[in-house]
Structure 1
Amino acid sequence: MTIELRRPVHDPIVLDDPERLSFRVDRRAYTDEDLAARELTRIFDRCWLYVGHESEVPAPGSYVARDVGGRPVVMARGSDGVIRVFANSCPHRGALVCSQPAGQVRSFRCPYHDWTFSNQGDLVGVPIPDGYGPGFRKADFGLARHQSDSYRGFVFVTFDPQQPRTLTEYLAGATEYLDLVDDQSAAGMEVIRGAQLHGAQANWKLMMENSVDIYHFRALHKRYVGYMESLGSVPPRRRGGFGRALGLGHGANELPPAAARPLAYWTPMFGPEVRPRIEATAARFVERFGPERAQRITGTNRALLIFPNLMIIDAIAITIRKIDPVGAGRMAITSVALAPRDEDPDIRELRKSHYLTFLGPAGFATPDDIEIIESCQRGYLNRAVRYSDLSRGMNKEVPETTDELPAREFWRQWDRLMHGDDGHHEPGRRAGAQGAGPR
């Protein structure tokens, strides 16, 4: 058990000094259980949180059940075609009404007392109803419904009844990157069936930082760099690209041109047999969007952080990664792959293969990342070093992908919310927090 040194509550966690080009984070933020508990109420109870993709509930009655912000919820498409997000808890005595991760039903049944709910959340059946008085009304006991909305197929929920922003307002500059994802298919995008569920013995924020940290790529992922080179492909360069702060904690890194994109950017690692089809797809994007927009969609690798806990890695495959805290020193990770609905079957298999090869729990990259963030978490036990430094790139007008601008944007929003900022105003620009790159 970690014993934390208690410091005054006014002692800051984030030390942001643009004049001195210094940005430091007290390592208590990764180890203190009191802070971890406060994150649930000040961040996860207040933000818009990612639930899932509309394609996961394609037909009336289809549903997925998962934890969001520490709360069990059900995302279901009702018989009326509307997607809703419910508390996965019976209003009678609290048991889960849905114990399977996904499926299709006409109704949900609580296994405790057989209370039954429609797939729209209404209470429709109560055994032995004469045990209740004349004031009992089924309409008062439907599944609790959470406020939810979607943008380009990505469904979010908020547990804050006073949420000051619409989803689109909350997403701020991240909408541009979600557009780039969804525009990859005129037929729509879909989550490939099957999720990867794993975790790490480290604080959840370490994985958020790691996921937008390109600085580590060649140092930590030497095996994958060698693998790419052995197949005739060029791994990401140490320099180049740009980072952007997208507002409200969101950030992105972008690497043009792409090293490999099964969507429309061929490299030798994909094999010569699929080259004509990939190049034909690239030509269709130019016809549909024009050369500049087509290059923006298909010719760059991107890592998008949506505050607080969603990563979309749009590179050799599209990975949606939800990272949930489990106390100060543990996290749960849920990853799925996204792809065009109308994708060529051979290209789909290629995409799935590279998704697993690089970003799968047993792939080239993810085990490296988990091992290193767990190493950081263990290193924090030596409290002689109090701060971690995230100041790289503060001296640049246009930070590169190897700089730490997206991580600083994340931490500035974390700091605002943990200090009780109600989020009603758009934070002003600070030196070193500028955005960059094409729109």
Structure 2
Amino acid sequence: MSTVEDWTTHDTTAPAHEPLVIDDQDNQTFRVHRSAMTSAEVHRAEVERVFGHSWLYVGHESEVPKPGDFVRRNLAGRPIFMVRGAKSRDVNVFHNSCTHRGALVCRQDSGNSKVFQCFYHAWSFDSEGKLKGVPDREGYSNGLDFDRLSLAKVARVDSYRGFVFACFDADVVDLPTWLAGAKEYIDLVVDGCGGSVEIIKGTNEYSFDANYKLLIENSADGYHAASTHDTYFKYLVSIGTDLQGGVIGQAVKLGNGHAVIEYSAPWGRPVAKWEPLFGEDAKVEIDRIRAELTERYGAERAHKMCEVNRNLIIYPNLIINDIMAVTVRTMFSPAPNRVDVTAWELAPTDEVPSLRERRLDSFLTFLGPGGFATPDDVEALESCQTGFSSGGVEWNDISRGMGRGPMANDEQQMREFWRRWQQQMGDAADLGGAR
């Protein structure tokens, strides 16, 4: 076991002969060793074992609607880009590396291009990844195999309801199998937006000093809301929102590390739940949307879309928060005590301007970079990461709710993430020096 001296660094020592996650069903306790958030060896193993063999969210098909449209992304530390093929019309995902000497071939965050030219030696590739141009090709006496030198595609690419995922492992299970029960909740999000959605242009990108898994936990943690976001609730009261009844809901296991908390809450939802923040003139339009959803999907399903909030964890690093706005958020730790976050806002395609304005305002008010929630959460998670270096305590406790039904402010959703994480990571004794 680690000593007090071990805890004075940010590289907490992992237990030598125990798993990093202890799931004791008999005693209804669940613990996670803090080295999972601090150890450099654990982090290196995690990049290979978790992110190297999991389906990872790349982007949304709506971001590349036309042939040649592209977006550049960092996928678990690897530069890639997604582009709509001019011939196939498929969404292609390529390793962002020239097959000549390795330089980036896509050097802009987004745009449209028929050709991607490496600035180093001017080799050029089309939107299907095919090598098209090589200066002074006569210099290759044996010729060039243009097919072999095409851009490398990420091993597996697939999409569900417009959400594009990729995996570096060619042998991974198919995407629908991987998503398991999460598909039902993606359906609720998309159908609640009328069946056709788009990512609104622009991203919310930020970094802070904590491990990404702390933000995974936080993103679906109903327990912290009342204390950490007290200012937001006071704000709601000040604009006339009735907070009586509070937050009522449950946590649901969805398989393969995915989980969700679904709950009713006093705040409004741009889908079709009015609140004073939206203004009186919005009531008619919201009633119209609710009526259309009820007619299309029936009263029970429409109620879920309009009234029920969802904080969805899609393992290992995608969060879809369908709350007072629909936010799609990914996170990755380039180092154990650092996390890079990218968030987008999802909305119905061709939404009328007044509704879009209300949706964006809801997003920025709570989840935006200067909103009520994000600064609070950053402060809380950086405080946790700093506290890990204090010493004296080796394990985080995530047992809340094991002895009762899975309420929305319990921790079952976090336990599902950690159980899958432990399966992929194995014991600490097998981490190549983590001890």
TM-score (norm 2): 0.93
Residue aligning to 1:249: 257
Alignment of 1:353-432 (within 5 A): 353-396=361-404, 398-419=405-426
- Of the three residues 57, 74, 80, the one matched with 1:67 is 74
1:5 Cα deviation from its structure 2 partner: 5.5
Residue aligning to 1:426: none
- Of the three residues 73, 86, 93, the one matched with 2:94 is 86
* Structure 1 residues 110 and 102: alpha-carbon distance in aligned structure 2, compared to 1, 3 A threshold: same
- Of the three residues 51, 58, 70, the one matched with 1:44 is 51
- Of the three residues 114, 123, 131, the one matched with 2:122 is 114
1:322 aligns with 2:325: no
What SS is found at the alignment partner of 2:319? strand
1:345 Cα deviation from its structure 2 partner: 1.2
* Structure 1 residues 167 and 237: alpha-carbon distance in aligned structure 2, compared to 1, 3 A threshold: farther
Alignment of 1:192-231 (within 5 A): 192-231=200-239
Structure 1: which amino acid aligns with 2:34?
A: R
Structure 1: where are the runs of 5+ without partners? 421-439
1:374 Cα deviation from its structure 2 partner: 0.2
Separation in structure 2 between the aligned mates of residue 149 and residue 237 of structure 1, nearest angstrom: 42
Residue aligning to 1:425: none
Residue aligning to 1:127: 135
Deviations 1:84-105 (A, max 9, x none): 1000110111111011111000
Deviations 1:327-383 (A, max 9, x none): 100010000000001322111101101101100111100000000000000000012
* Structure 1 residues 6 and 301: alpha-carbon distance in aligned structure 2, compared to 1, 3 A threshold: closer
1:162 aligns with 2:171: yes
1:142 aligns with 2:150: yes
- Of the three residues 250, 266, 269, the one matched with 2:277 is 269
* Structure 1 residues 7 and 369: alpha-carbon distance in aligned structure 2, compared to 1, 3 A threshold: closer
What SS is found at the alignment partner of 1:45? coil
CA contact (8 A) 2:13 2:39 kept: no
Separation in structure 2 between the aligned mates of residue 313 and residue 392 of structure 1, nearest angstrom: 22
* Structure 1 residues 322 and 130: alpha-carbon distance in aligned structure 2, compared to 1, 3 A threshold: same
Structure 2: which amino acid aligns with 1:221?
A: H
1:282 aligns with 2:293: no
Structure 2: which amino acid aligns with 1:153?
A: G
Separation in structure 1 between the aligned mates of residue 194 and residue 398 of structure 2, nearest angstrom: 40
* Structure 1 residues 151 and 222: alpha-carbon distance in aligned structure 2, compared to 1, 3 A threshold: same
Structure 2: where are the runs of 5+ without partners? 1-7, 428-435
Structure 2: which amino acid aligns with 1:204?
A: Y
Separation in structure 2 between the aligned mates of residue 3 and residue 194 of structure 1, nearest angstrom: 34
Alignment of 1:286-325 (within 5 A): 286-325=294-333
Structure 1: which amino acid aligns with 2:169?
A: D
Deviations 1:224-251 (A, max 9, x none): 1011111112459555200011111101
Separation in structure 2 between the aligned mates of residue 217 and residue 187 of structure 1, nearest angstrom: 30
Residue aligning to 2:27: 20
Residue aligning to 1:180: 188
Structure 2: which amino acid aligns with 1:162?
A: D
* Structure 1 residues 234 and 57: alpha-carbon distance in aligned structure 2, compared to 1, 3 A threshold: farther
Separation in structure 1 between the aligned mates of residue 350 and residue 10 of structure 2, nearest angstrom: 54
CA contact (8 A) 1:67 1:73 kept: yes
CA contact (8 A) 1:258 1:300 kept: no
What SS is found at the alignment partner of 1:349? helix
* Structure 1 residues 258 and 295: alpha-carbon distance in aligned structure 2, compared to 1, 3 A threshold: farther
Separation in structure 1 between the aligned mates of residue 397 and residue 216 of structure 2, nearest angstrom: 15
CA contact (8 A) 1:181 1:297 kept: yes
Q: Which has the higher contact order (CA 8 A, sep 6+)?
A: 2
Separation in structure 2 between the aligned mates of residue 184 and residue 208 of structure 1, nearest angstrom: 24
Residue aligning to 1:437: none
1:258 Cα deviation from its structure 2 partner: 6.2
CA contact (8 A) 1:73 1:88 kept: yes
What SS is found at the alignment partner of 1:252? strand
What SS is found at the alignment partner of 2:58? strand
Deviations 1:294-338 (A, max 9, x none): 112222110000000000000110000001111100010000000
Separation in structure 2 between the aligned mates of residue 9 and residue 281 of structure 1, nearest angstrom: 57
Separation in structure 1 between the aligned mates of residue 305 and residue 362 of structure 2, nearest angstrom: 19
More displaced, 362-371 or 224-233? 224-233
Residue aligning to 1:57: 64
Separation in structure 2 between the aligned mates of residue 237 and residue 212 of structure 1, nearest angstrom: 20
What SS is found at the alignment partner of 2:148? helix
Separation in structure 2 between the aligned mates of residue 173 and residue 299 of structure 1, nearest angstrom: 21
Residue aligning to 1:429: none
* Structure 1 residues 320 and 236: alpha-carbon distance in aligned structure 2, compared to 1, 3 A threshold: farther
Separation in structure 2 between the aligned mates of residue 9 and residue 364 of structure 1, nearest angstrom: 41
CA contact (8 A) 1:218 1:238 kept: no
1:153 aligns with 2:162: yes
Structure 1: which amino acid aligns with 2:141?
A: G
What SS is found at the alignment partner of 2:406? coil
Separation in structure 1 between the aligned mates of residue 105 and residue 345 of structure 2, nearest angstrom: 27
Count residues with an aligned counterpart: 418
Separation in structure 2 between the aligned mates of residue 183 and residue 274 of structure 1, nearest angstrom: 21
Structure 2: which amino acid aligns with 1:263?
A: V
